[in-house]
Structure 1
């Protein structure tokens, strides 16, 4: 019956010209809506792709993409969609079969992320204008901590996509993750010259400003862009506001300004009917940990208290590794030790079920989880013993985090070194980091403390003066 239906299916073209088959105009319209929402980090992505698959169950492309969407949270449903796509490959287009092959490597019995990356390279060689698959490939790279591979993907297809919407935002992100900030800034600005409301280019330009310690520029730019975020997903809306709050915090703006962003723009997202709560908690906790590290413990714990019931609900566990680590810290720091221990053991169980090569990679994530658990308990010496003297959070990107997101664990590390009495090591690592980000006043304040504890009063005074000068220059 499926083959007979396929015989009459019309060949259509998607937003970028790739051919696929469907006899349903509703399916085609829903696929276009899904593409647009996916590329713009918009709301309603799930509803759109499920609507497409329902409108034409014999459309291999719609079924395959629906499988990819539901896969992370409902593997059984993903298997059903993937089987439906497989049943309709006989009359599918070459493009649909290529998409099916890539998604099978992510979702099927042969699940292998390295194979999935190889197949995305093959797909994009044949269909270089397929920005949807490029975005998906870059997401895989992100969760594997592979910005170099992500850059190769976008460079492969860039010649075929000059002056097209979204492409330069996708170029900017791996560049900034590789530390190529000037190139990343040019790419992000190029993306905004094509579409000023490209939220990914906006976000990436903010990353550049943050890394270059241009905090006032970052907040002014992002707040000017904020009206364009109303249609964004819960993650992207709260994540962009998280960037604003972090820039206020790093620029040592008055604390109420930071808390205003948290209360009015991040947590308010939970009031929306189509909110994805886990996406909000990821950004909320990421900000609260930064407040906590900087000594703003009471306002952080006040807000953590309001989140505790939600964080103990295991339905939001294991959505993102970064979120799991932040939940683990939150539970531990609030003396919810039973729930924190259960989370830690659950993470270890997850890793033990992985194949051997993946287990080896994720052992570092478990090491970080154990350290975060001890940090929440205030056991700084145990954190030092767990991480060892050469820890650098940038080596832990397998948890699925950007440089800015993972950097909070370096901030934890610096404070641990000081509080564990490892002042000489703290002075060494802070000196290296300051050479990269000389305009970050918090680093100078930590260096001042380390110098003071090490009996180097004159050096402490110099560091203090530098931090004060930076603070005066930021927002005064």
Structure 2
């Protein structure tokens, strides 16, 4: 029997006969692709409505917690989705199968199913967005872009698709295409925070610091009703521009009022906070007691090992807070790496050892370990801007270990790429003075 209803993007639905169920589906679909908090409304509906897609969406919401317990919490909803899958459409069955693969820990299989969905049902943008999430966490930038390109011909009218395209282009270093896609998204809908985010990446990468700072300041009035990750992360980007402009008071205010002011128990909010405090310190600014408060929220994370990108931030934050849980997390990570191999063993573990060494002041060891991990760091996931923290820590470790020529090699490249950065100019002047080159520092833009 044909499905009687469709979601707001025109995808037919099985079940969802009540207005409440249809509203919950659309809240998830629209909320997810718009990075809005209403996506979680599907959880309440899933307690009453047995529609397979409602149940699958509820399972996905639980998985986004990014904790070891998330699969257990998602399983009852997934089981109900699977029980009704035979009556569901081909599209719904594939989405359920992708969520099942995610719950089982097979994110590569999940991403492949979402990509197949993008080819066959390109208006299923919730599936495209979820597929991009998996490709992103695997460090697969081409896959991130490919998913959005599959959907693009059928979704030219949807601003959120252009935002997804923009981020895919940017992560593949196609900055002109990324900017065009982001600006197309914003022209269709000014409140498109993912497009704001993608354009912030472009402007930061191209060294357009003042422009990026002004752009995000203008767009920030639209960041209402968003999920905590999106609002904290976009303000994190605003803070990065302020940091390059050597405005530590503004950065600290953004940290206190936005970056670390929402869902303090959530993984992504914690990552944003760790990253920003670390960058402030690397820029030479005092962050006061903020590490200690953040460490209280990181302490329960020692046995997580869900995504290596997350673990590395937890570890550094715990170490900077002076907590013994940092060593506990490293031991757990070592055991997990022995069992899992792959990126955990080859990339995450040496990076973790380097991060702990840096936080504890063992700079020669930090420089060696981080230098060995950096060439393969894309495999841990995260964006270029996020992984730049580890490159900054490596540069700092070189400088503090006395490897000044190596530090000059890296710092000067950064300064040439971002001549507007007052932070880099100040750091370069100090480095050239240590090198006995203070008199010619202006030649280098310092």
TM-score, length-scaled by structure 2: 0.91
| 2: CA distance, partners of 1:370 / 1:417 | 15
Q: Which moved more, 1:312-321 or 1:147-156?
A: 312-321
1:112 matched residue in structure 2:
106
Alignment RMSD (CA, Å): 2.4
Which of 314, 333, 343 aligns to 2:301? It is 314
2:392 matched residue in structure 1:
411
2:317 matched residue in structure 1:
330
When residues 423 and 324 of structure 1 are mapped into structure 2, their CA distance, relative to the original with a 3 A threshold, is: same
Which of 434, 447, 455 aligns to 2:436? It is 455
Residues 299, 325 of structure 2: 8 Å contact kept: yes
Which of 228, 231, 241 aligns to 2:222? It is 228
Cα deviations across residues 80-106 of structure 1 (Å, max 9, x unaligned)? Answer: 222222221222122211212222322
Q: Indicate the structure (1 or 2) with the bigger Cα radius of gyration.
A: 1
Residue 89 of structure 2 corresponds to residue 93 of structure 1? yes
When residues 103 and 314 of structure 1 are mapped into structure 2, their CA distance, relative to the original with a 3 A threshold, is: closer
Cα deviations across residues 41-65 of structure 1 (Å, max 9, x unaligned)? Answer: 111423x2222322322x1111222
Q: Once the 2 structures are TM-superposed, how far is the Cα of residue 364 of structure 1 from its aligned partner?
A: 0.4
Residues 63, 81 of structure 1: 8 Å contact kept: yes
Q: Once the 2 structures are TM-superposed, how far is the Cα of residue 315 of structure 1 from its aligned partner?
A: 8.2
Q: Once the 2 structures are TM-superposed, how far is the Cα of residue 427 of structure 1 from its aligned partner?
A: 2.1
2:160 matched residue in structure 1:
166
| 1: CA distance, partners of 2:107 / 2:71 | 16
| 1: CA distance, partners of 2:142 / 2:356 | 31
Residue 397 of structure 2 corresponds to residue 397 of structure 1? no
Which of 238, 246, 254 aligns to 1:252? It is 246
Residue 363 of structure 2 corresponds to residue 380 of structure 1? yes
| 2: CA distance, partners of 1:304 / 1:77 | 31
1:67 matched residue in structure 2:
59
| 2: CA distance, partners of 1:362 / 1:84 | 36
TM-score, length-scaled by structure 1: 0.86
When residues 334 and 70 of structure 1 are mapped into structure 2, their CA distance, relative to the original with a 3 A threshold, is: closer
| 1: CA distance, partners of 2:61 / 2:365 | 40
| 1: CA distance, partners of 2:246 / 2:153 | 43
Residues 234, 276 of structure 1: 8 Å contact kept: no
Q: Once the 2 structures are TM-superposed, how far is the Cα of residue 277 of structure 1 from its aligned partner?
A: 4.2
Cα deviations across residues 233-259 of structure 1 (Å, max 9, x unaligned)? Answer: 111111111111111111123x21221
Structure 1: any 5+ residue segments left out of the alignment?
Answer: 1-6, 468-476
Q: Once the 2 structures are TM-superposed, how far is the Cα of residue 290 of structure 1 from its aligned partner?
A: 0.3
Cα deviations across residues 267-322 of structure 1 (Å, max 9, x unaligned)? Answer: 3325xxxx7544332222211000111121xx324211232322223389556544
| 1: CA distance, partners of 2:151 / 2:90 | 19
1:348 matched residue in structure 2:
334
When residues 127 and 36 of structure 1 are mapped into structure 2, their CA distance, relative to the original with a 3 A threshold, is: same
1:295 matched residue in structure 2:
284
SS in 2 for 1:268: coil
| 2: CA distance, partners of 1:42 / 1:321 | 26
Q: Which moved more, 1:444-453 or 1:344-353?
A: 444-453
| 2: CA distance, partners of 1:182 / 1:76 | 43
SS in 1 for 2:8: coil
Q: What is the aligned residue count?
A: 441
Structure 2: any 5+ residue segments left out of the alignment?
Answer: none
Q: Which moved more, 1:277-286 or 1:80-89?
A: 277-286
| 2: CA distance, partners of 1:315 / 1:236 | 25
